[in-house]
């Protein structure tokens, strides 16, 4: 972890401007082609949901702005962020929140996520930390916009990602990916960089399927 020298930070004026707002949060929804993810998950018999979490976490960690957090008067740069995701077991009505470290191997991550998911019986284990990324999914329906619940805490700088049910277009599979961030740290430029990184990672995954 590194503490930023705000006196030399090129976004300092932007940060200060949005720090005056009571609600500095905003969200965008992006179409993402996920055919390679679906194919990889099916061929390796792993969860499409876990694979999307793995890919999105990898993409976000490639963009330094998504690893920034506000802690008191400081802005810190994390070395890595890890996923925290909702899970609803078949037939259940109440979901749980699972947190597990991100690892570089996608199949190893899926195995760890499944083990953590199956083992956890409580709604939430451990303390919530700002080193996480929050993930969710609505596999029952697609959406083109999404809002998230949270306290009106301007220091809440944890990104929130979610997607709906996949849909078909031109014989390809897509999802609408919602990305909610704190404008104190993340601009549209950074979301664009994350989307480019995610598309690259999905394409690289597709090359494994060949």
Tell me the whole-structure pTM to 2 decimals. Answer: 0.96
Sign of the C-alpha dihedral, residues 111, 128, 87, 141?
negative
Classify 71 as helix, strand or coil. Answer: strand
Q: Work out the angle between the directed axes of helices 106-119 and 48-61 (0-180°, nearest 10).
A: 120
What pLDDT digit, counting tens, does each position of 88-142 carry?
988 899 999 999 999 999 999 999 999 999 999 999 987 779 999 999 999 999 9
Q: What is the mean pLDDT of residues 50-64?
A: 98
Q: CA–CA separation, 176 vs 65, rounded Å? A: 22
Contact 137, 164 (CB under 8 A): yes
- Predicted confidence at residue 152, as pLDDT, reads 86
Q: What is the mean pLDDT of residues 176-202?
A: 98
Query: In 3D, which of 131, 139, 200 has the Cα closest to residue 159?
Result: 131
Tokens representing 139?
Answer: 């596999």
Q: CA–CA separation, 42 vs 197, rounded Å? A: 23
Q: For residue 4, how many other CB atoms are within 10 A of its CB? A: 15
What pLDDT digit, counting tens, does each position of 138-184 carry?
999 999 999 998 888 999 999 999 999 999 999 999 999 999 999 99
Q: CA–CA separation, 161 vs 132, rounded Å? A: 11
Cross-strand partners of 30: 177
Contact 86, 99 (CB under 8 A): no
pLDDT at 210 over 60: no
């Amino acid at each position: 972890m590194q503490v930023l020298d705000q006196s030399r930070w090129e976004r300092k004026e932007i940060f200060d401007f949005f720090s005056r707002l009571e609600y500095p949060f905003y969200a965008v929804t992006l179409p993402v082609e996920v055919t390679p993810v679906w194919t990889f998950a099916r061929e390796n018999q792993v969860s499409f949901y876990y694979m999307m979490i793995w890919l999105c976490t990898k993409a976000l960690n490639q963009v330094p702005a998504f690893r920034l957090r506000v802690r008191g008067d400081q802005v810190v740069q994390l070395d890595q962020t890890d996923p925290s995701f909702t899970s609803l077991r078949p037939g259940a009505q109440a979901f749980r929140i699972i947190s597990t470290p991100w690892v570089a191997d996608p199949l190893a991550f899926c195995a760890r996520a499944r083990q953590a998911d199956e083992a956890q019986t409580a709604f939430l284990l451990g303390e919530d930390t700002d080193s996480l990324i929050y993930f969710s999914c609505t596999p029952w329906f697609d959406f083109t916009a999404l809002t998230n619940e949270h306290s009106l805490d301007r220091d809440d700088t944890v990104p929130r990602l979610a997607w709906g049910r996949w849909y078909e277009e031109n014989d390809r599979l897509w999802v609408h990916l919602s990305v909610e961030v704190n404008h104190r740290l993340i601009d549209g430029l950074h979301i664009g960089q994350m989307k480019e990184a995610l598309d690259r990672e999905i394409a690289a995954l597709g090359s494994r399927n060949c």
